[in-house]
Amino acid sequence: MSKTVLFELGVEELPARFIDDALEQLRNKTEEWLSYKRIPYGNITGYATPRRLAVKIEDVAEKQPDIEEEAKGPAKKIAQDNEGNWTKAAIGFSKGQGKSVEDIYFKEIKGTEYVHVKKFIEGEPTEKLLEEFKAVFLSLNFPKNMRWGSYDLRYIRPIRWMVALFGDRVIPFSIENVSTNRTTEGHRFLGEQVSLEKAEDYETALKSQNVIVSVKERKQMIQKQLEDLEKDQQWKLVIDEDLLNEVTHLVEFPTAFSGSFHREFLDVPEEALITSMKEHQRYFPVRSSEGELLPHFVGVRNGNAEHIDVVARGNEKVLKARLKDAQFFYEEDQKGSIDEKLKKLERMVYQEELGTLADKVKRIVAITGKISEWLDLNEESQKKAKRAAEISKFDLVTQMVDEFTELQGVMGEKYARLFGEEEEVAVAISEHYLPRQANGELPQSTIGAIVSIADKLDTIVGSISIGIIPTGSQDPYGLRRQAMGILQTLNAKGWTIPVEHLIDLVHRFYVELDLPTRSEKEITADLHEFFKVRAAYLLREEGIDPDVVEAVLNQGIHNFAIAREKAKLLVAKRSDADFKTVHEALGRVLNLAEKAEISEVDPALFENESEKELYEVYSRLKPDYEAALEKEDPERALALLSELAAPIHHFFDHTMVMAEDEKVRSNRLGLLNQIAGDVKSFADLNAIQWKQQF
């Protein structure tokens, strides 16, 4: 026999942004708990609304399965004395297993006999075990917790009710002053309490009380209603997936409605209007079929369609006030000049140890100038890049960005145009914040990409210089995301500036300004390692195996785009049987080169043709190999290294490297050390697990 189990935790309104993770935790922890308790079960379904988290478990067995297992004890020579009597060790072992010495038998394991007993463990009733499920509720983790009343428990929100049913029977347990029963709460305004006869009634019973407990069903209802509005009104709704998820978690019974606002507000940049609607009011903006923003919006009510027109009018009033604020901010921000706004940055602290925002801008300008020189930009482009860097942060003092922080850069671009800045400069102000999230859109313009890299480099180097280094999941300044943004931008642009040069450039600025609070050596090591870890992460995200990543980054990142090409080339070589002999040859060189103390080679000390041949082939290939690396042609470079395979094998077949004569030995090791240095300039091939692939 099996039954359905239901657990529901009723709370005050949960923050919408926490619900998805909480529901996932509840499902996973329920599964882990059932497995740990050895309770057979079938399908697990999770439910969530703003006021509840629940899980339904189908086909739950009424008891644990019985277990018959064999327990191993001490060796026979320890379990019995010379006369064959049981020792204290044997007696203690059998008692510990709930048995007696009469139950003991011997089994031979690897030539030695050991005491064994068979023990039978009867499965416990499931109903009794389910009383311990409250541990699952208490184990849920939330970003923020609170206490209420005089209780010691810290939890996401106050617990108001709990349902726990095993079929049609209540599973008793309590958390603080709340005990489980069979009564759940309907919609706060449209429903009432309902008593569940059995666990299977959960969804149906709550639906009768205007609560849709299935997240998927609620989301589908909203999508269908939005589609119907689009069709009826000939609109095109701006449906953001994150907003749709949030709205789904804000309601228990969704009903979509539409409203309007005055056309005069369309003079305000649409980004500000859309942000006001989405971020402040959770509305879906409306566009025409041609893509033009219209003076309408769509919201989702937590309730039915009764008096929906009144609801729409009320929301229109609220939005009107929001849009009037945006309109006012937009008009006020256009007063004065960019230079006046830049002066205000001198009074805004960026970071206590790193100065004001004006100080940060000066560093961005300097870094931008140097990168522009390295990229050999013409004089006009360098001038535009410098101007974009100079005014990159001016919009941070505007009222619009103060109200809508997510519009930083966006409003900077728009205001820059209004103040007469050149188009490339205006675009760069917005682009320098890209990417705004992991794997987000990258800067498209050259100037935007340069200022983006400069800004992010300053943030990362400055933070790490004063000891702000991300640990675990803690990265309050988003340094990891910014480092990846730099690498992705360099790769997308195909720029050949070594990453280490960029790091060291900015670090020198900080040293000159006497800003670091730690030793230069320590900071440099931390910076290089930080970027190397981010580069490794990006390469692994592309499916490149960790050992290949380690090989290509062994001596640093250098040109990230080329490091990426090398990695992909070596992954392909894994399955190339012809490359096995090349790997073996170069690997032997790398291994023996570790014993070398010098790299000098004197051809006069060669004693056989094989070492002469290797030296001659290597000397002939070396200039072409270095040229291939300089031209950033890793495929050509690896092909040239591959030509060394035959003479290397011939060398090892006919040459005793560790010769008794110290000069001869040192000369041979020096030759191998030279070759190894060039091999490692491509990658540390010994880090790659080649043999597993052939």
DSSP conformation letters of 118-146: EEEEPPPBHHHHGGGGHHHHHH---SS-B
The CATH number of the domain holding residue 575 is 1.10.730
172: domain range?
2-63+126-207
Q: Would residue 557 count as lying in a domain?
A: no
pLDDT on residue 438: 82
Co-location of 13 and 54 in the same domain: yes
User: Pseudo-torsion of CA 624, 629, 634, 636, nearest 10°?
Assistant: -10
Co-location of 83 and 99 in the same domain: yes
Q: Name which of 575, 550, 561 is nearest 490 in CA terms.
A: 561
Q: Which of these three, 269, 298, 333, is where a domain ends?
A: 333
Co-location of 45 and 117 in the same domain: no
Instruction: Specify the number of domains making up the chain.
Output: 5
Co-location of 444 and 418 in the same domain: yes
Co-location of 490 and 585 in the same domain: no
Cβ 173 vs Cβ 179: under 8 Å: yes
Q: Which of these three, 76, 104, 121, is where a domain ends?
A: 121
Cβ 51 vs Cβ 188: under 8 Å: yes
Q: Would residue 300 count as lying in a domain?
A: yes
Q: Would residue 50 count as lying in a domain?
A: yes
Q: Would residue 328 count as lying in a domain?
A: yes
Co-location of 32 and 113 in the same domain: no
Q: Would residue 382 count as lying in a domain?
A: yes
pTM of the predicted structure, to 2 decimals: 0.79
Co-location of 115 and 132 in the same domain: no
Co-location of 447 and 575 in the same domain: no
pLDDT on residue 692: 46
Co-location of 686 and 577 in the same domain: yes
Q: Which of these three, 333, 362, 397, is where a domain ends?
A: 333
What's the CA gap between 392 and 692, in Å, rounded?
51
pLDDT on residue 380: 96
Tell me how far CA of residue 625 lies from CA of 495, 631, 671, 678, in angstroms: 21, 10, 16, 9
What's the CA gap between 467 and 454, in Å, rounded?
20
Q: Would residue 559 count as lying in a domain?
A: no
State the DSSP code for 186. -
User: Pseudo-torsion of CA 492, 498, 500, 502, nearest 10°?
Assistant: -70
Q: What is the mean pLDDT of each run of 10 residues along the chain (694 residues)?
A: 94 96 97 95 97 97 88 90 89 88 88 87 90 96 92 94 97 96 96 96 97 98 96 92 96 97 96 92 94 96 95 96 95 95 95 92 96 95 97 96 94 97 97 91 97 96 90 82 96 92 90 78 92 95 93 92 93 86 90 84 91 93 93 92 93 90 90 92 87 46
Q: Would residue 38 count as lying in a domain?
A: yes
The CATH number of the domain holding residue 132 is 3.30.70
Co-location of 282 and 165 in the same domain: no
Amino acid, single-letter form, for residue 683: A
The CATH number of the domain holding residue 372 is 1.10.3210
What's the CA gap between 469 and 640, in Å, rounded?
41
Residues forming beta bridges with residue 175, ordered by sequence position: 178
pLDDT on residue 470: 87
Q: Would residue 630 count as lying in a domain?
A: yes
Co-location of 670 and 598 in the same domain: yes
Co-location of 462 and 438 in the same domain: yes
